[in-house]
Amino acid sequence: MKVTIVGAGAVGASCADYIASKNFASEVVILDIKEGVAEGKAMDLMQCASLNGFDTRISGSTNDYSKTANSDIAVITSGIPRKPGMTREELIGINAGIVKSVAANLLEHSPEVILIVVSNPMDTMTYLVHKTTGLPKNRIIGMGGALDSARFKYRLAEALEAPISDVDGMVIGGHSDTGMVPLTRHATRNSIAVSEFLSEERLDQVAADTKVGGATLTKLLGTSAWYAPGAAVSGLVQAIACDQKKMFPCSTLLEGEYDLNDLCIGVPVILGRGGIEKIVSIELNEAEKAKMQESAAGVSKTNGLLDV
Ligand SMILES: NC(=O)c1ccc[n+]([C@@H]2O[C@H](COP(=O)([O-])OP(=O)(O)OC[C@H]3O[C@@H](n4cnc5c(N)ncnc54)[C@H](O)[C@@H]3O)[C@@H](O)[C@H]2O)c1
Ligand SMILES: O=C(O)C[C@H](O)C(=O)O
């Protein structure tokens, strides 16, 4: 199993670290345009192998895509992150060109690859990859909901004063400050609805804190987050590599599911060796449907800024 990660920055390196530490991939290639950086990070990570007990071979490449040839999975993290006060949507001008060229380069050397799009604005970048590569939809996966759901569980556990392992919950919708739809009605503590333990006001606060999870970290860090994003990506990569058939909310092209068309947005999917093996349609109530429609309108508006 060969995995390529494009972008040796904060998220790309964190992602390589988690993938290697889990020891399920034979090879990880990190590629970046900055001379020597991918090679340096790969060497640094390889020097963790004896310490952390993994056999994954990690190598770096300065923009030489021949080294990525025959990758099974490729993760696109190349592009700029936001700064405090910015939205993810403001990154479109620079990141669209980068993501488009990176996807084309990857496919030239790995025609069967499954692509995981991370660069922001992620739902729009995922749509751009659809529009420009023509790959079947099962092989283009946008990562956002897995991260947002992890942040939702963190906030739920905080409110419940419970261990996170007691908590389950999912966030669907667009990966944006306003577009996320945390499914509080479906969230549970040990299979009991969290509404049994938390007031409506407290749950609304949990949802609000979840939606600005990325912005909160960007304000604290001066750039956007990388540990949880890297861990979330590695979870998707492992589900595909190990054919786990796990369910994650991922951004995928919708063609009528959830009454939405012609956009990529986060919904629950089953991930296995075929990439997105199934889009899972869950019953939403009227309020949840309205939030999903509003979120989709926001994503479509950003998609409208693309030159495709
Ligand atoms: N979808 C998500 O949940 C999520 C989470 C975190 C970050 N992000 C996004 O991921 C992206 C990367 O974030 P980061 O914190 O790692 O940024 P970073 O600046 O640390 O790293 C980005 C890397 O991309 C490289 N790069 C730029 N253009 C390139 C090209 N054409 N080819 C190869 N490499 C290129 C840069 O040299 C840099 O090393 C940002 O757009 C950020 O908003 C998304
Ligand atoms: O917040 C960001 O801009 C980065 C990423 O999308 C995140 O949610 O951490």
Nearest protein CA to atom 41 of ligand 1, as residue: 119
Ligand 1 proximity of 34 Cβ (cutoff 6 Å): yes
User: CA nearest 87: which of 23, 175, 181?
Assistant: 175
Ligand 2, CB within 6 Å, residue ranges? 81-82, 88, 120, 147, 175, 214, 217-218, 224-225, 229
From first to last of the 308 residues of the chain, give the pLDDT tens digit: 999 999 999 999 999 999 999 999 999 999 999 999 999 999 999 999 999 999 999 999 999 999 999 999 999 999 999 999 999 999 999 999 999 999 999 999 999 999 999 999 999 999 999 999 999 999 999 999 999 999 999 999 999 999 999 999 999 999 999 999 999 999 999 999 999 999 999 999 999 999 999 999 999 999 999 999 999 999 999 999 999 999 999 999 999 999 999 999 999 999 999 999 999 999 999 999 999 999 999 999 999 999 98
User: CA nearest 72: which of 241, 220, 223, 228?
Assistant: 241
What's the CA-to-centroid distance between 128 and ligand 2, angstroms? 19
Q: Which residues are catalytic?
A: 175
Structure confidence at residue 145 (pLDDT): 98
- Amino acid code (one letter) for 78: S
Structure confidence at residue 152 (pLDDT): 99
Ligand 1 proximity of 272 Cβ (cutoff 6 Å): no
Ligand 1 proximity of 79 Cβ (cutoff 6 Å): yes
Q: Are 72 and 113 in contact (CB under 8 A)?
A: yes
Quote the CA–CA distance of 90 and 276 in Å, as a whole number. 28
Ligand 1 binding pocket mutation candidate from 30, 90, 92, 118 (most atoms within 8 A of CB): 118
Quote the CA–CA distance of 105 and 233 in Å, as a whole number. 21
Based on its alpha-carbon atoms, the radius of gyration of the chain, rounded to whole angstroms, reads: 19
